[in-house]
A and B are shown apart, each in its own frame.
Chain A
Amino acid sequence: MAVDTAPTRPVEAPARPASRFTGFLRERGLLLLGIAFIIVYCLAPFYWMIVSSLKANPLLDQSLFPTSPTMTNYKEVFSSDNNFQYALRNSVIIAGTTTILALFIGVFSAYALARLQFRAKKVVLGAVLATAMFPLIALLTPLFQLFSRLGWIDTYPPMIISNISFTLPLAIYVLTSFFSEMPWELEMAAKVDGATPGQAFRKVIVPLAAPGVFTAAIIVFIAAWNEFLIAFTMTQTLAAEPVTVAIAKFTGASEFEQPFGTIMAAGVLVTIPLVIVVLIFQRRIVSGLTAGGVKG
């Protein structure tokens, strides 16, 4: 786990020395209670998803621990009824391509917005950020009609192209705030040494920006990986369906009894990689998500 280097505030000393120790204890106690609340709030439902996925019949067995853990549900996820491996492959291709495209296009704009002076900057920033507001539903009908007419339903391009509509603004947003944080002097120095703005961009900024770009890639990838509405609209079969749609469509033997054990197992499989990434890069992700928000 990453060591936290954020500035910490010293515990405030109470006014009366006699109560210092009990005051300290009470404050620590409350704090621990608060931390416990946060952890339980965030992780209990996730824990329950894992526990349910390990039970042979979660509908009948509601115990808080998997008394006799089984992998049956995980086998069922990949059985011929569900063929989840195709959905995983599709999600990797769709989210991966979306991420690469959004970053490739976004990185140029973010550089311009963070570093260059031009008159229409506020308008451009406003327009990019306004697109974050767009309800996907407002774009969906025309895009669906367009891709139907092209015969592209059940292929990857409709999802990748439509995903760009919300991942590109997100990428620009995160990248712009990262680029604004980078040291100015180095670019200036390069220019003093005779580099053109283009050269300064390629030779100085790109290597410096790599960590920010990487963080933006994680955030954009997670957004694309989690997308449901577009994928649900643009797919009809397993051919191009990503995991989110596949999980929503899982059916069991009976119409009235959903295979929740299998669904939870699929949910765990889809979420575990994201959780691992989040555990490793939590500092970066948090700064990427919040950098633009607070400094107004």
Chain B
Amino acid sequence: MATETVRPGRVRRRPGPVQTSEGQRAEARLAFYLLIPTGIVLAVIIAYPVIRAIWLSLNSDARFGTSEFVGLDNYIRAFTGTGAEAFWSAFVFTTQLTIVTVVLELVIGFAMALIMNKAFTGRGLVRAAVLVPWAIPTAVAAKLWEWNFTPDGIVNQVFRTDILWTASHWSSFWAIVVADVWKTAPFIALLVLAGLQIIPSEVYEAAKVDGATALQSFRRITLPLVKSAVVVAVLFRMLDVLRIFDLPFILTNGANQTETLSTLSYKESIQQLHPGYGSALSTITFVYIILAAFLVNSLARADVVKAQGGR
């Protein structure tokens, strides 16, 4: 599954003398033993629940005991049946949320990274400041933004508006977007900054000698060279927003069609005690996330990021 999705840390080929096959075998054996605990733990805590959830999704909703196999009924209910309205609303809302937040985070995060990449004293302080939104628990950030978005709150005061932010669909949407972008754009900034810092300054100097403008350097050097860092950041964030729960659950609790796929699944399976239908919804969420990851990964491979950067 998704072997190529997220690039792991550098795994170097071992330098040095050619190994005997005996040494290789000993090494592989040690690796196997070292991986056993992780394998067992992930099998119990992830593989078992996922498979069990798929099984539950094929059964009717009786909580313990008398549930019966109903095939794809729960899925049909979500896609075209009685649950369709709520499901597609959550599906569309989650997708809109993902696209808008990831784009905004990328723009703001990229700008922050370009600033932080300049030499200046007190860079450590800025980096620490950037980590603050990341460190704040999402539940606390959600409460903080709920407070900021109250009718008499600071947001309305600063912008001299009079909006009941959590009382309508689109204002709720933007409240969630603002809260999420605030918390995670700095994280993107850090990932992009790390990408920027491995570009040697000689490349820029050479471009300058050749008469490149700052804009040309940015388009032809910076963008292509940070591409992989950006793709990783976008992937991480996209997968995160597609399963977003804490923020909408606390900030709007699904009011005014602001249910996301995760909050909807949660309400069905845990609060309404519909493990069958709820598991169908969470399985759909899961599959959707996998498909989105593959899509973005293959788009990135087709150099779309580069092409867009070259506009």
- Closest chain-B Cβ to A234's Cβ sits at a distance in Å of 10
Interface string of A105-142 (1 = CB under 8 A from B): 11011011110111101111111111111111111111
Contact (Cβ within 8 A) A296 B7: yes
Residue of B nearest to A290 (CB): B194
Contact (Cβ within 8 A) B41 A168: yes
Interface string of B182-220 (1 = CB under 8 A from A): 100111011101110110010010001000000000000
Q: Decide if B73 is an interface residue (CB 8 Å cutoff).
A: no
Assuming the contacts A149-B64, A278-B131, asked whether A130 and B5 have C-beta atoms less than 8 A apart, the reply is yes
Count of chain B residues with Cβ under 8 Å from any Cβ of A? 123
Return the contact of B127 from the options A43, A119, A283 (Cβ within 8 A). Answer: A283
| CB contacts between A and B, total, < 8 Å | 358
Pick from A4-12, A16-24, A65-73, A75-83 the stretch touching chain B: A4-12
Contact (Cβ within 8 A) B9 A176: yes
Contact (Cβ within 8 A) A119 B144: no
Pick from B75-83, B96-104, B113-121, B169-177 the stretch touching chain A: B113-121
Q: Decide if B1 is an interface residue (CB 8 Å cutoff).
A: yes
Q: Decide if A260 is an interface residue (CB 8 Å cutoff).
A: yes
- Between B8, B143, B157, the greatest number of chain A beta carbons within 10 A of the residue's beta carbon is seen for B8
Contact (Cβ within 8 A) B152 A62: yes
Q: Decide if A251 is an interface residue (CB 8 Å cutoff).
A: no
Interface string of A219-237 (1 = CB under 8 A from B): 0001001101100010000
Taken together as a complex, chains A and B put the C-alpha atoms of A177 and B185 apart, in Å, by 23
Contact (Cβ within 8 A) A197 B30: yes
Interface string of B274-304 (1 = CB under 8 A from A): 0100110011011001100100000000000
Q: Decide if B20 is an interface residue (CB 8 Å cutoff).
A: no
Q: Decide if B239 is an interface residue (CB 8 Å cutoff).
A: yes
Contact (Cβ within 8 A) A116 B27: yes
Return the contact of B130 from the options A38, A122, A287 (Cβ within 8 A). Answer: A38
Contact (Cβ within 8 A) B2 A137: no
Contact (Cβ within 8 A) B53 A142: yes
- Closest chain-A Cβ to B294's Cβ sits at a distance in Å of 11
Residue of B nearest to A15 (CB): B208
Contact residues in A for B245 (Cβ distance below 8 Å):
136-137, 228-229
Contact (Cβ within 8 A) B30 A116: yes
Contact (Cβ within 8 A) B56 A142: yes
Residue of B nearest to A188 (CB): B16
Return the contact of A128 from the options B26, B38, B45, B53 (Cβ within 8 A). Answer: B38
Contact (Cβ within 8 A) B127 A286: yes
Count of chain A residues with Cβ under 8 Å from any Cβ of B? 122
Residue of B nearest to A52 (CB): B147
Q: Decide if A207 is an interface residue (CB 8 Å cutoff).
A: no
Contact residues in A for B14 (Cβ distance below 8 Å):
117, 184
- Closest chain-B Cβ to A38's Cβ sits at a distance in Å of 5
Q: Decide if A155 is an interface residue (CB 8 Å cutoff).
A: no
Q: Decide if A144 is an interface residue (CB 8 Å cutoff).
A: yes
Contact (Cβ within 8 A) B290 A184: no
Assuming the contacts A38-B130, A114-B11, A282-B128, asked whether A244 and B140 have C-beta atoms less than 8 A apart, the reply is yes
Assuming the contacts A131-B46, A292-B8, A295-B10, asked whether A172 and B135 have C-beta atoms less than 8 A apart, the reply is no
- Closest chain-A Cβ to B186's Cβ sits at a distance in Å of 6
Contact (Cβ within 8 A) B50 A139: yes
Contact residues in A for B6 (Cβ distance below 8 Å):
129, 132, 292
Taken together as a complex, chains A and B put the C-alpha atoms of A114 and B6 apart, in Å, by 16
Contact (Cβ within 8 A) B30 A245: no
Contact (Cβ within 8 A) B27 A124: no
Assuming the contacts A139-B49, A142-B49, A270-B140, asked whether A177 and B10 have C-beta atoms less than 8 A apart, the reply is yes
Assuming the contacts A133-B293, A180-B9, asked whether A275 and B31 have C-beta atoms less than 8 A apart, the reply is no
Assuming the contacts A140-B282, A168-B38, asked whether A117 and B1 have C-beta atoms less than 8 A apart, the reply is no
- Closest chain-B Cβ to A279's Cβ sits at a distance in Å of 5
Contact residues in B for A150 (Cβ distance below 8 Å):
none
Interface string of A233-253 (1 = CB under 8 A from B): 100000000011101100000
Contact (Cβ within 8 A) B135 A118: no
Taken together as a complex, chains A and B put the C-alpha atoms of A189 and B148 apart, in Å, by 59
Assuming the contacts A140-B269, A222-B135, A290-B194, asked whether A45 and B37 have C-beta atoms less than 8 A apart, the reply is no
Contact residues in A for B282 (Cβ distance below 8 Å):
135, 137-138, 140-141
11 pairs from A and B in contact (CB 8 Å cutoff):
A7-B201, A41-B108, A62-B157, A117-B27, A135-B242, A140-B49, A177-B9, A226-B138, A244-B138, A270-B137, A278-B131
Interface residues of A (CB under 8 A from B): 1-4, 6-12, 31, 34-35, 37-39, 41-43, 45-46, 48-49, 52, 58-59, 62, 105-106, 108-109, 111-114, 116-119, 121-146, 149, 161-162, 164-165, 168-169, 172-173, 176-181, 184, 188, 197-198, 222, 225-226, 228-229, 233, 243-245, 247-248, 258, 260, 263-264, 266-267, 270-271, 274-275, 277-279, 282-283, 285-287, 289-296
User: Beyond A111-B34, A125-B3, A248-B139: 9 further Cβ-contacts under 8 Å?
Assistant: A1-B124, A9-B119, A37-B115, A41-B185, A62-B153, A108-B34, A109-B37, A139-B50, A289-B187
**The 6 A-B residue pairs with the shortest CB-CB distance in the complex, in nearest-first order:** A177-B9, A126-B3, A296-B7, A135-B243, A8-B119, A290-B194
